[in-house]
Amino acid sequence: MGSITSSFLEELAETINALNHESNSNFFNPSIAILSALLLTGSASFSSGFKTPLLILCLSPLLMLLARSRIYSWLKIVAITALWAITVSTPLIFTSSGSLANIALGPVELRISLEGFYLMATFTVRVVAAAAVFTAFIFILGWRRMVDGLRGLKMPEVATSLISLSIIYIPYLIREMVKMLSAREVRIVRKTGFRELWYVLASVVGDLMLRSYEHAWRLEKAIKARSINPNSPKAGGCRVWINDLILLILTFCITMLGFLSG
């Protein structure tokens, strides 16, 4: 179990790191892209019907194709999100009120609510559309350019610095966790039960918190030692191209449509 956990954590660290470092796409201006991502994700999440989320859902692969980003990895995330949304919303079919249809399955009779079915479908579409569009922008921009975008939107420097450091240090701390797990695993010399193993795995959490604190303390000193000007370094300016204008217009149109259709 420890090995599976370690492998999972290693993969997780690598994925976060890949998002952090591998995107060099300059297809969109980061500030406009992040603004669009926020507006479209918001529109998809808070819409009540099918139209807006479906439109956003269709737009997402188009963006991925245009930016020549890794569509296969993105599709996997969308598929997992869809599966999760369907799983958690399925009970709505059986628990919602409204017009009912009875289905007999041998001795068992299922009462299906058509309204529940509608609720489940809208929930799934909303979740999938929101996840699809936001992850599309993350894939296109990469997390570093996302932070640049947030800086461009004049988000407080403290917040962007914290996001930026978190993005860098999440993989680092996950790797620390893997090392701690391995150090514990190597000392388990007999077959152990799940409960015993669970104690060992759980003991990592306290250590990790302690190490994170110590690391953060020293990191704060390291940043302070090299901060000569009270104003932190700013992100370089980015130009606005026709792609950005089209994206911006499209975003506003979809957001307005979502707003007008309730």
Partner 1 sequence: MLRVENVYFSYPGGVEVLKGASLTANRGEVVAVIGPNGSGKTTLLMIAAGLLEPSRGLVLLDGKPLRKQLPEARRRIGLVFQDPDDQLFNPTVYDEIAFTLRQILPTKEDVDGRVLEVAGRFKLENVLDKPPYKLSIGEKRRVTLASILAYDPEVLLLDEPTANLSSRYVEEIEEIVLDAKKSYKTVTVASHDVEFIARVADRIYILNNGTTVGGLNAKSILADESLLALADMKPPLVLQALRLLKINLEGNPLTIKDLLETVEKPGTSQ
Chain contacts with partner 1 (rule: CB under 8 A): 17, 20-21, 144, 164-165, 167-169, 171-172, 175, 215, 218-219, 221-234, 236
Instruction: Give the SS3 label for residue 95.
Output: helix
- Shortest Cβ distance from residue 222 to partner 1 (Å)? 4
Rg (CA), the chain: 23
Q: Which is closer to partner 1, CB of 188 or CB of 219?
A: 219
Q: Which is closer to partner 1, CB of 14 or CB of 196?
A: 14
Q: Which is closer to partner 1, CB of 110 or CB of 223?
A: 223
- Shortest Cβ distance from residue 72 to partner 1 (Å)? 24
Q: What is the DSSP string of 1-38?
A: -HHHHHHHHHHHHHHHHHHHHS----SS-HHHHHHHHH
Q: What is the DSSP string of 160-222?
A: HHHHHHHHHHHHHHHHHHHHHHHHHHTT--S---HHHHHHHHHHHHHHHHHHHHHHHHHHHHH
Residue in the structure block whose two tokens are 């599966």: 83
210: left (phi over 0), alpha (psi -120 to 50) or beta: alpha
- Shortest Cβ distance from residue 144 to partner 1 (Å)? 5
Give the rounded distance of the alpha carbon of 255 from its chain centre.
21
Q: Which is closer to partner 1, CB of 84 or CB of 172?
A: 172
Backbone angles phi, psi at 251, to 5 degrees: -60, -45
Instruction: Report the C-alpha gap between 147 and 232 in whole angstroms.
Output: 14
Q: Which is closer to partner 1, CB of 184 or CB of 211?
A: 211
- Shortest Cβ distance from residue 218 to partner 1 (Å)? 4
- Shortest Cβ distance from residue 42 to partner 1 (Å)? 28
Q: Is 56 exposed, middle or buried, given 0-12, 13-18 or 19+ CB atoms closer than 10 A?
A: buried
Q: Which is closer to partner 1, CB of 167 or CB of 181?
A: 167
- Shortest Cβ distance from residue 77 to partner 1 (Å)? 22
